């Protein structure tokens, strides 16, 4: 079953530090136009160079663009950027929802939560 995951948790989003995002984008072949502005085909990603009060919102937008461009789950991309791994066991969906990570069943177009 293929899952689409949307990350909403501020603490999880802030773990994608600017340097980690830059390194990820460069590794994936994005063109660095300015310090924190990258382009790939017809897509552009920009984000602050420092973590501030609304940094999590910028990371959320970065993940949305990458999800569309790479056709991959935000969670998979987040794991690659942060170099962290999440393991799922039966019954963990509710715990994840309470942490701001939402699971979507693409095959049935349903959402847990």
What are the C-alpha distances in Å from 30 to residues 14, 37, 41, 88, 106?
21, 10, 9, 31, 27
Residue 65's pLDDT is 97
Domain boundaries, the chain: 3-111
More confident site: 111 or 67: 67
Residue 101's pLDDT is 52
pTM of the predicted model over 0.85: no
Q: With 50 as the cut, is the pLDDT of residue 96 above it?
A: no
Q: What is the pLDDT of residues 18-37, one digit of tens each?
A: 999 999 999 999 999 999 99
Residue 5's pLDDT is 76
Q: What is the mean pLDDT of residues 88-113?
A: 46
* Strand order across the 31-34 sheet: 31-34, 37-40, 43-46
* 83 pLDDT tier (thresholds 50, 70, 90): confident
Q: What is the mean pLDDT of residues 56-65?
A: 96
* Rounded-to-integer distance, Cα 28 and Cα 20, Å: 12
């Amino acid at each position: 079953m293929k899952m689409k995951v949307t990350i909403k948790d501020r603490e999880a989003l802030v773990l994608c530090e600017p340097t980690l995002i830059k390194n990820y984008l460069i590794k994936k072949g994005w063109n660095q136009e300015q310090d924190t502005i990258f382009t790939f085909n017809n897509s552009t990603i920009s984000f602050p160079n420092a973590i501030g009060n609304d940094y999590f919102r910028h990371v959320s937008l970065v993940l949305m663009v990458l999800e569309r461009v790479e056709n991959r789950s935000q969670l998979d991309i987040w794991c690659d950027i942060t170099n962290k791994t999440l393991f799922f066991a039966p019954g963990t969906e509710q715990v994840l929802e309470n942490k701001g990570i939402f699971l979507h069943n693409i095959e049935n177009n349903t959402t847990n939560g």
